[in-house]
Amino acid sequence: MPGIAARRTQRLVLAAALLAAPAAFGQGADNPDSVKPQVSVAAGKPVQIAVLNPLKRDCSLGAAPTLRVPGLPKHGRVIATTASIATGKRNRCPDQKVSGQVVVYQANAQFTGFDEVQIEVETAEGEVRRATIRIEVTQAGLPAGQQRL
């Protein structure tokens, strides 16, 4: 079992990976939030599965959405953190930079196969959105759909 220092280091590495990722998330044409319905990732590596921003339908700044994870993954963990988000040019609210939430999944280091996460997001207006994200976890260093023999 990893010690406290190892867990802190792991959290810092994951946080650094999130901050180093491009800020142009949340690029759905009709939705200021972006949830990926299916992703592929190498075992033990973090992957972004959702970006939630506080923009209202009229593009004005609202309260941060409330995130719930009613369906936890069986073979990994989900981490939500605050990050700076740029909405992109094709978004309904183009070229805005706001502080939002980034949701990341990280599979257990030895797991390969499929995992699933269910999330719920409640907007400032009270609208509840639900999503199930299917995650394909591959062996480290191999593309999705391939395996070592």
pLDDT band at 146 (very low <50, low <70, confident <90, very high): low
pLDDT tens digits for 76-132?
A: 999 999 998 888 887 788 888 888 899 999 999 999 999 999 999 988 778 898 999
- pTM over 0.75, yes/no: no
CB 76 within 8 A of CB 115: yes
Tokens of 101: 């939430």
Both tokens of residue 70?
């009613």
